Amino acid sequence: MSEELARRLGTRDAVAVGLSAMVGAGVFAVFAPAAGAAGTWLMAALALAAVVAYCNATSSARLAARHPESGGTYVYGRRRLGPFWGYLAGWGFTVGKTASCAAMALTFGSYAAPGLARPLAVAAVVALTVLNLLGVQRSAGAARIMVAFVLLVLTTLVAVVFLPLPRSGPDPGSHGGADAGNFQIIGKEQAVAPPGDAGLHALLGPGVDPWGVLQAAGLLFFAFAGYARIATMGEEVRDPARTIPRAIGIALGIALAVYALVAAAALRAPGPAVLALSPVPLVDVARSAGADWLVPVVRVAAAVAALGALLALLLGVSRTVLAMARERDLPGVLAAVDPVRQVPRRAELAVGVAVLALVLVADLREAIGFSSFGVLVYYAIANAAALRLGAGENPPPRAVPVLGLALCLLLAATLPVASVAAGLAVFAAGIGMWALRRRRTMGA
């Protein structure tokens, strides 16, 4: 058995790590595909994603209080449902979030200097891996600084849309900044926007599309999934039975408020039509609000947010790798804990190397949908595990995990076809590896 990690994180640290993932680069990217799917019903999709997030967060918090170990739902699935379900959760989380790490690194590079996106992405992965190896408290401290800056910029962006502040650039409501006729609608497959606002209105008008709302909710859930980082680091949190539920609740509440305000601002300026077609949606929100002075600040905030999300992702994935290595679902050599820093150094290095490989060779523009599928399956297993909590284990009201399980599976099924296909292929490969390992173990 490997050494345990040190319990060094308080509530503020845990909240900072969770917010780094939730109010990370997703807020700068996810509204475009979500608006393409839901149109003017974007707020309804956000509300549905928030309901799913609440159910999942409640189930995860109750489970984390009972099982304060590294690994999150991988551990809960093993303890409550059996080794296979824990493995499935860990596999989906590790593969999906490793891809997300690479996507966040490339997002940072693209915002910081588009012509040097890959070299900067490589540098970011190396720097943050080294930071994590120095100790989890340093990582949490960096997360607090990055989250504070991003929240300040987002608050300013919402203010320039809704308050009578000095403006520059195009009039509010104009579509300056987004070349609307040149882009495919991201969230609707095989749908190309006809030229002009009339064509866009036909695609994204006031009529509700239930399938589109569900698909948008699945994409928006990508933004709320960051509270998993708090649970996966349960072994490093002080007084976990009290701290983890509190930190998850605080982080989720702040993230929901931020996303609701930003979504409302985006629907007001530039509106769902232009928003759906924008490669840089929050930049176009600033431009449409007549705040050209804010555009470079938003770009810097997006780069910082990507770094914060990458930091939190690397922490979460490495802890899940540690837990899986302890149970020999991954090579046992990855279970080593640094005796001085008390961090899973080999797991951290292995995750860093895997992310670097993806950054160098892969095109990860579809990572949001793919990651959403994997994380929705992950939380479906968490909700199923929460249903196994006994009366004396402070279980959530039964309706919460039941609703969370049903909605996770529903939203996973309504994601874009390419995301579902990629997710199913990854899980099939993982199940094949599980079966092969079991056969070898039984043969031995």
- Tell me the CATH number of domain 11-436, given options 1.10.3720.10, 3.40.50.1110, 3.40.630.40, 1.20.1740.10: 1.20.1740.10
DSSP 181: G
The secondary structure of 205-268 as a DSSP string is: SSS--HHHHHHHHHHHHHHHGGGHHHHHBGGGBSSHHHHHHHHHHHHHHHHHHHHHHHHHHHHH
- Pick the closest to residue 423 from 379, 386, 385, 377 (CA basis): 377
Instruction: List CB contacts of 238: < 8 A, sequence separation 6 or more.
Output: 7, 8, 9, 10
Sign of the C-alpha dihedral, residues 43, 47, 49, 50? positive
pLDDT (0 to 100) of residue 342: 79
pLDDT (0 to 100) of residue 418: 83
Per-residue pLDDT of the chain (444 residues; tens, 9 = 90+): 456 676 777 888 888 888 887 887 678 877 888 888 888 888 899 999 889 888 988 898 889 888 887 788 999 999 999 999 999 999 988 988 888 888 888 888 887 887 888 899 999 999 999 988 887 777 778 888 888 999 999 999 999 998 866 555 444 444 443 333 333 333 333 333 333 334 434 444 455 678 888 888 887 876 776 766 777 777 778 888 788 888 888 888 888 898 899 989 888 888 888 878 877 788 888 988 888 899 999 989 988 988 888 888 888 888 889 889 988 888 889 988 888 877 888 999 999 999 999 888 876 656 666 777 888 899 999 999 999 999 888 899 999 999 999 998 988 888 878 888 888 988 999 999 998 888 877 765
CA–CA distances in Å: residue 441 to residues 87, 259, 323: 15, 47, 19
CA distance 174 to 26: 25
The residue extents of the domains of the chain are 11-436
pLDDT (0 to 100) of residue 349: 93
pLDDT (0 to 100) of residue 363: 65
Contact by Cβ (8 Å): 65, 240: yes
Predicted structure pTM score: 0.77
pLDDT (0 to 100) of residue 208: 61
| Cis-peptide, bond into residue 279, ω within 30° of zero | no
- Pick the closest to residue 215 from 194, 191, 198 (CA basis): 191
